[in-house]
């Protein structure tokens, strides 16, 4: 089995970080989790005990500088982890979860250890939403995917989040600078950051995010919920296969090392086999 680390950077985000620690700690071992808190005013939560949690000076004064600064820090930290003997490093936001298809019967480390990754690898992105009128507010004590059944297939979360050697991530892990990407069959990245309307509305009241210029960004991300609530859900197997093929072949004209999907809005129903995983 390969030695695998996972890292993230957070600020005032215990809700998602708790799930991140629970999931990746269960898969990789808490001792292989590296959490960087954005600001010396942050407190490391008790549930992070056993991980490598460090508070750093605050990065950036607006959304753009914060994103660029964070990924520069995390790319450097990943390089340090490779120097310390890790063979793979996973970088995600705290609301993003790499999940092998349970049909394969493999844990995340077993799945990744079986891959030959030369530089970096991507999972197929699934932006999970809330279907208003059908799905209620999220319950923190129940598995999240037992309460949310729909996701948008989007390029934004098909991220180059797995490194096999020191490389430089682009903002938000969306690409690796100077490198192409490979979407791994049978691996998904579930983004849960905008899967509950109540939580989005609460984020509008977060003064830290408003000060960084996040208001427009947060409102934009509620589109996932609107799309999930309005559009008919398509077959998961057929359309994830098509999306993986399409994103492998197509590139936007402004970034050859990012995937494209022809601007299509595709909603799929998440199969029941994923319900207990997150």
pLDDT, tens digit, for every residue of 17-61?
A: 999 999 999 999 999 999 999 999 999 999 999 999 999 998 865
Predicted pLDDT at 214 = 55
Residue 259's pLDDT is 83
| Predicted local distance difference test score (pLDDT) of residue 62 | 55
Residue 216's pLDDT is 62
Span 196-215, pLDDT tens digits:
998 888 776 666 655 555 56
Strand, helix or coil for residue 15: helix
Q: Which residues of the chain have pLDDT under 50?
A: none
Give ∠ CA 109-12-219 in degrees, rounded to 5.
95
Alpha-helical runs (H) found in the chain: 14-28, 63-83, 108-113, 197-203, 207-211, 215-221, 223-230, 236-249
DSSP annotation string for 19-47 = HHHHHHHHHH-GGGEEEEEESTT----GG
Residue 84 has a CB neighbour count (10 Å cut-off) of 9
Cβ contacts of 75 within 8 Å, gap of 6 or more = 166, 167, 168, 169
- Check residue 63 and give its pLDDT: 55
Residue 27 neighbours by CB distance under 10 Å: 22
Q: For residue 278, give the DSSP letter.
A: -
Q: Cα(76)–Cα(83) distance, rounded to whole angstroms?
A: 11
The pTM assigned to this predicted structure is 0.92
The two counts, helices (H) then strands (E), for the chain are 8, 10
Q: Could you tell me if 91 and 163 are in contact, meaning their C-beta atoms sit under 8 angstroms apart?
A: yes
Q: Determine the structural domain holding residue 66 and report its residue range.
A: 4-274
Instruction: Compute the C-alpha angle 64/55/168, nearest 5°.
Output: 45
Contact status, residue 60 vs residue 67, Cβ threshold 8 Å: yes
For residues 232 and 267, is the Cβ–Cβ distance under 8 A?
Answer: yes
**Domains in the chain: how many in total?**
1
- Residue length of the chain: 278
């Amino acid at each position: 089995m390969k030695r695998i680390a996972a890292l993230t950077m957070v600020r005032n985000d215990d809700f998602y970080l708790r799930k991140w620690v629970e999931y990746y700690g269960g898969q990789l071992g808490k001792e292989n989790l590296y959490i960087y808190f954005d600001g010396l005013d942050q407190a490391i939560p008790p549930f992070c005990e056993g991980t490598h949690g460090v508070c750093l000076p605050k990065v950036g004064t607006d959304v753009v500088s914060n994103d660029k600064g964070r990924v520069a820090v995390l790319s450097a930290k990943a390089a340090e982890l490779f120097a310390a003997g890790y063979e793979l490093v996973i970088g995600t936001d705290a609301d993003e979860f790499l999940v092998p298809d349970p049909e394969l019967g493999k844990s995340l480390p077993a799945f990744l250890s079986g891959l030959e990754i030369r530089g970096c690898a991507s999972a197929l992105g699934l932006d999970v939403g809330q279907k208003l009128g059908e799905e209620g507010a999220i319950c923190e004590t129940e598995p999240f995917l037992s309460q949310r059944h729909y996701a948008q297939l989007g390029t934004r979360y098909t991220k180059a989040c797995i490194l096999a050697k020191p490389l430089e991530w682009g903002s938000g892990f969306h690409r690796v600078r100077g490198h192409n990407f490979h979407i791994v069959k049978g691996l998904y990245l579930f983004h849960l950051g905008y899967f509950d309307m109540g939580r989005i509305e609460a984020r509008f009241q977060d003064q830290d995010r408003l000060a960084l210029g996040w208001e427009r960004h947060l409102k934009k991300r509620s589109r996932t919920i609107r799309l999930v609530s309005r559009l008919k859900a398509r077959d998961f197997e057929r359309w994830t296969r098509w999306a993986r093929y399409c994103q492998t072949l197509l590139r936007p004209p402004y970034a050859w090392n990012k995937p494209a999907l022809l601007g299509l809005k595709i909603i799929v129903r998440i199969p029941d086999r994923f319900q207990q995983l997150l």
